[in-house]
Amino acid sequence: MVSVSHTVVVEPVPYEWLVDALGVVRALVEESRAEGQRFVLPDGQTVPDVRLIRGRHLRPGAVYVVSEEGGEGEGKGAGTGETARITVREWDRRRAVRLELAVAEDDGTVELDAALKSPDRPRLLEVGGRARTEGVPFALSHLKGRARVRLDDWWTAADTERTVSSAPASARLDHRWLRADVRATPRPRRDDDRWDVRVTVSVRGRSFLRPPAAVVLAAAGRGIRRTVARTLDDTAEHWNRAVPRLVAMDAERLREALLTSARHLDGDDDGP
């Protein structure tokens, strides 16, 4: 097994801002409507390349397609240029919002299911999924994983320095031969308002391959540690560029930025 622990410094996201931002997103989606297959924003403009192909807007079973081309069919074989399919499994502002996302491209597919518990005062986010890559041997082409963030415990640890029973953010990624576990715990920095986030990544072999995998991982351990640390640092750098601009937005500015992004969903706008 190879284990890596690394701390990154990131800009904070106030919990109340998160609550307000989720409220803006939810209200914007709920105030939108479907006209036939078209997805229409509250201001009357149609979102390009998004269609409701099954069910009623935001009702369980509703299916939305995001396409590169605005075809009328339901699947890739119909010439729609489909790249993503979103299925609503639950939409209840008090209990949970649960969505499924399927992305199909020439080099593979990704399937995700995500659930946010208690959206009005979010306390738990769970995401699971699998990915398949074309053009590589079967043993290398399939991955599956699951991530879980206890949002209430995250902000308890990040803002108050109180100890939580376990890492509030965790993830597991399974490959046919290897398993990676990730744990992340924040804490407030003493000299400014940012967060120190301690991330631990453990990689080990699976099943009967554990003994040979242990040898390979031991030999590659130094390179794995460097790669993990560099990846975490790069991720923190991107986060620190984007987050201050976002949290500076009040609800009205955020709503307008989201509307602008939706109107240019085909890629002409960089979003908020």
**Cβ-based neighbours of 77, under 8 Å, separated by 6 or more:** none
**Digit-coded pLDDT (tens) for 155-171:** 999 998 788 889 999 99
Give the pLDDT band (50/70/90) at residue 178: confident
pLDDT value at position 71?
44
**Digit-coded pLDDT (tens) for 23-39:** 999 999 999 999 999 99
**Digit-coded pLDDT (tens) for 189-219:** 988 899 999 999 988 876 555 555 555 555 5
Mean pLDDT of 121-133: 94
Q: pTM of the predicted model, to two decimals?
A: 0.84
Q: Is the pLDDT of residue 80 over 50?
A: no
**Digit-coded pLDDT (tens) for 56-75:** 999 999 999 998 654 444 44
**Digit-coded pLDDT (tens) for 3-20:** 899 999 999 999 999 999
**Cβ-based neighbours of 79, under 8 Å, separated by 6 or more:** 69, 71, 73
